[in-house]
Amino acid sequence: MIKPRTPPGIMELLPREQIAFQRMLDVIRRNYERFGFLPVETPVFELSDVLLTKSGGETERQVYFVQSTGALANAAGSAEKGLPEMALRFDLTVPLARYVAEHEHELTFPFRRYQMQRVYRGERAQRGRFREFYQCDVDVIGKDALSIRYDAEVLAVIHAVFSELRIGSFAVQLNNRKLMRGFFEAQGVSDPQLQALVLREVDKLDKRGADYVRETLVGADFGLPAAAVERILAFVEVRSQSHADALARIDAVLADAGAAASESLRAGAAELREVLELVKALGVPESAYCLNFSIARGLDYYTGTVYETTLLDHPQIGSICSGGRYEDLASHYTKSRLPGVGISIGLTRLFWQLREAGLIEGIAGSSVQAMVALMDEAAMPQSLDIARRLRAGGINTEVQMEPKKIGKQFQYAAKAGIRFVVLAGDDELARGVVAVKDLLREQQFEVARDELASTLQVELEQARAMAR
């Protein structure tokens, strides 16, 4: 006998846990669609030379390659590297780039797409890290150019999603890579690779403290002037407290640079100001967004607005949604310039974190809303007819197919999370009614058989209204 077990790094849920997860997926999908985004799915595996075009050695070490004993021929591009022909996707961005480049002449631009699928990474097996996980992405792709206005709309999408998920107060933290680049240039840190290294050290502020970061940046490895380091530390600590404060912080960065402000700094400030004004016009409350000048998000990829979303009362969870603007999505696949902006929610990890923190119920009620009990064999036709009527009335219904003691049938429904148990004995059938046991309210009532479905719909709607 082989012991049944899942591979490390996989989140496999029981049915009522899966329902809770699925309802989060439904909320995200519903809000993506409310903003006019269209669904896309891409294959779970891509040709290796296509998937790994933009990657380095580290990515290749984390990729799962697809081996086939029946067809070992490699694609031309991957054969040069000695790699298998196909590999599992490690994110949804590279497949999106391939998709848009391949279907460019069939798509309408700006192309508004959302994608909610599993991705695969060879992560080291540890608590809370997954090798198979859901990403829920939304992007707007332009042809040649894309208005900065979409950056504000994407932030409004984030706000809509997490408001409906009801997992606590949150804030979308904003920055702009152009503004950040312009600021660092003014401090004498103009090389992008050096900027990346400096930001990596700055990212250690919370763990190692300001003194450690200060000493590192002025030390032999970096050799930055002490005055420049102080300005950098002050810059990355900026967090706005209101809409007006955010605008004032941007003005202050420009004022400090004065006449020496670079074109990059001015452009980033203008973009950030426009995004903030449009976010306010979209009705996003001031408490739900702020500036955070320490956010960089993928220095080699993002080129303008960048986002990170955090729970205000649970900062230890980290970013629950991130993304930003990029200037050329598919440069490796087409000569067309395809700028875009988008965000991603890693739902598998988020679900796990929220459940661990007690912020969500990891077990939901059943998607089955009613169960028709079976009193005896002779009542089978009547039970099936009642279930048919309930389903026709929009009630998800299960039928007990074998007669058991009624107590055991109640126990089954309670354990399965089914709210209503419908009973139709000889007395009820003779009077044209059924008895309904509401396991949530612990009440029992009778209702006319023809009014059963509508009555249960009213009860369910009242429960949904209370939940809202």
Cα 339 from Cα 337, distance rounded (Å): 6
The structure tokens listed for 11 are: 């989140």
Four-point Cα dihedral 252, 255, 261, 263, nearest 10: 60
Residues 6+ positions from 422 with CB-CB distance below 8 Å = 370, 371, 372, 373, 386, 390, 434, 435, 436, 452
pLDDT digits (tens, 9 = 90+) for 304-350: 999 999 999 998 898 999 999 999 889 989 999 999 999 999 999 99
pLDDT digits (tens, 9 = 90+) for 37-60: 999 999 999 999 888 876 555 677
The structure tokens listed for 232 are: 């950098």
pLDDT digits (tens, 9 = 90+) for 244-263: 999 999 999 999 888 878 99
Tell me what pLDDT residue 164 has: 95
Task: Provide the angle, in degrees to the nearest 10, between the axes of the packed helices 263-281 and 243-257.
Answer: 170
3-state secondary structure of 51: helix
pLDDT tops 90 at residue 362 = no
pLDDT digits (tens, 9 = 90+) for 119-176: 999 878 778 789 999 999 999 999 999 999 999 999 999 999 999 999 999 999 999 9
pTM value?
0.89
Tell me what pLDDT residue 54 has: 61
Residues 86, 48 contacting (CB under 8 angstroms): yes
pLDDT level of residue 70 (50, 70, 90 thresholds):
low
Cα 448 from Cα 19, distance rounded (Å): 31
What integer best gives the mean pLDDT of the chain?
A: 91
Cα 358 from Cα 351, distance rounded (Å): 11
Structural domains of the chain, ranges and CATH numbers in brackets? 169-312 (3.30.930.10), 370-467 (3.40.50.800)
Task: Provide the angle, in degrees to the nearest 10, between the axes of the packed helices 226-236 and 210-218.
Answer: 140
Cα 304 from Cα 323, distance rounded (Å): 11
3-state secondary structure of 258: helix
The structure tokens listed for 112 are: 């508004």
